[in-house]
Amino acid sequence: MNRKYSTVLLLLFLLVASCLWAKPQNRLSLSQTEWETLLDGRYLTRSVIWTDSVASLAPLGSIAQEKTKEAEERAKGISVASLALVPYPKDWTTQSEEQRKLELYNLLHQVSTLEGLQYGDAKKEVLFSESYTIKDPENKKSKVSDPVVQTLPSIDTVYVCQEDSIFGKNIYQHTYQISEDEVFVDITNLTTLKFLGISFVKPKDMSLYLSTIQTQDGILIYTCTTLATTEPKVSFLFWSFNLADESMNRIVAYQDWFKTQV
């Protein structure tokens, strides 16, 4: 009798898992129009200031959704997010879900390939003039190769040095988490972000999230940034930029990079 019930429960579990895999819409709180936008290869983006949230754009029940809510509550500032659906490469179609997860995990560690990444509407500005993994977060010169693993850890932390067009050269902590169907990266600044030499973002006050989830129709990639400020415009002498727009350009650039690497 127990064996019979166990078999029935197993079949029900496999049926539910199959339905979730077949219908990625079940992981998203989107309208039909928004879903069609994703299927058309375009990005869904949201930008809000405290009291509103972008977490509804994240896949339901994901690490990304939980972390976005936590970051928004902590920052009480600007949040921007973008969601895209990326087709699988042809050579991934015969792989198992675990094999693809390993591919995604190693891909998201390839921070050196971010060097020279262009962004903005015209894609003519270089976001990162330098980008590399370091061994010691206290030493920008402790450069090492991007890590590659053969077995997936449940959590991992690496340190990255990047020089970008707005905030100069800084150290970031990349924390990787793995769930049943998600590879998630939390990118946090460990050094003060400065604009034209003026301190602008304190250490650990900027969070950037990347999340990948496999579906039947492709890979859902969600990116999000939260900042502990409610003032989007930054000005100094003759220089100015919109922080919300700049943050959106940054997370979309990460998605563009991901699409070229897959």
Write out pLDDT tens, residues 111-151: 999 999 988 776 678 999 999 999 999 999 999 999 999 99
pLDDT tens figures, 195-216: 778 887 889 988 899 999 998 8
* Cβ-contact 46, 30 below 8 angstroms: no
The answer to whether 209 and 250 have CB atoms below 8 angstroms apart is no
Least confident of 93-97, 125-129, 226-230, 254-258: 226-230
**Predicted confidence band of residue 65 (pLDDT cuts 50, 70, 90):** very high
DSSP code per residue over 114-176: GTT-EETTTT-EESEEEEEEES-TT-TT-EEPPP--SS--SEEEEEEEEEETTTEEEEEEEEE
Between CA 243 and CA 241 the distance in angstroms is 6
Contact between residue 111 and residue 146 where contact means Cβ atoms under 8 Å apart:
yes
The arrangement of secondary structure in 29-261, i.e. its CATH architecture, is 2-Layer Sandwich (3.30)
Domain assignments of the chain as residue spans, ordered by start: 29-261
CA angle 247, 251, 254 (to 5 degrees): 145
pTM for this one? 0.87
